[in-house]
């Protein structure tokens, strides 16, 4: 039978030891001690409450599954936990679900944004960036368009369009170098 730790204060090494032994009560103590901190970090990256609740759950599952990989010699438990939470939130914002969710936001949201800041917003078409990008060679132009106008990361371009990541990076570098010559 496992001890009931309740509101017991544990030192970090004691907590880590119990977590590595898969002690459920230690998991509750960890949640009580660190959940607000992890939630705050993720809230800076992901703002939707429903998404945050799911991410918190995913975060603690990941911590539970990977606690054996924590090395106290490399840093404090809180730092390790924060890195897991931050990386999960960043990965979520790069996920297809999140990107699709952003694309499907209500029209009212965009109409309000467009009318609110239309005089101060810089549009690539109005300053001639699109025309400059059109002057690039076709393969380089396509990668630049996917990155800067469609919002894909280099890794997403490689995955989605079947182009080796190194090629995507080279074309990006060549395109940016060529664009610099126009300015």
Per-residue pLDDT reduced to its tens digit, 134-159:
888 888 889 888 887 777 888 888 99
Indicate whether 109 belongs to any domain: no
Indicate whether 7 belongs to any domain: no
Per-residue pLDDT at 102: 55
Lowest mean per-residue pLDDT among 23-27, 36-40, 101-105, 126-130: 101-105
Are both 22 and 95 inside the same structural domain? yes
What is the average per-residue pLDDT within 50-64? 89
Per-residue pLDDT at 46: 82
Band (126; pLDDT cuts 50, 70, 90)? very low
C-alpha closest to that of 44 among 77, 79, 88 = 88
Per-residue pLDDT at 114: 45
pLDDT at 104 over 80: no
Are both 137 and 172 inside the same structural domain? yes
pLDDT at 169 over 80: yes
CATH label of the domain that carries residue 23: 1.10.1740.10
Alpha helices, DSSP H, located in 45-164: 49-66, 77-94, 96-103, 107-116, 124-127, 129-134, 138-148, 154-161
Is 89 exposed, middle or buried (CB count within 10 Å of its CB: 0-12, 13-18, 19+)? buried
Indicate whether 163 belongs to any domain: yes
What residue numbers bound the domain in which 20 lies?
12-100
């Amino acid at each position: 039978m496992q001890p009931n730790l309740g509101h017991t204060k544990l030192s970090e090494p004691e907590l880590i030891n119990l977590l590595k032994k898969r002690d459920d009560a230690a998991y509750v103590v960890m949640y009580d001690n660190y959940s607000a901190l992890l939630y705050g970090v993720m809230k800076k990256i992901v703002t939707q409450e429903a998404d945050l609740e799911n991410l918190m759950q995913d975060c603690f599952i990941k911590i539970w599954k990977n606690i054996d990989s924590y090395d106290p010699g490399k840093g404090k438990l809180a730092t390790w936990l924060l890195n897991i939470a931050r990386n999960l939130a960043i990965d979520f914002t790069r996920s297809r679900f999140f990107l699709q969710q952003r694309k499907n936001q209500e029209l009212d949201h965009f109409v309000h944004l467009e009318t609110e800041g239309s005089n101060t917003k810089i549009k690539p078409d109005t300053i001639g960036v699109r025309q400059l990008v059109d002057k690039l060679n076709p393969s380089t132009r396509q990668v630049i368009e996917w990155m800067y106008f469609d919002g894909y990361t280099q890794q997403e371009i490689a995955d989605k369009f079947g182009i080796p990541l190194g090629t995507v990076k080279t074309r990006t570098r060549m395109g940016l170098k060529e664009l610099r010559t126009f300015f």
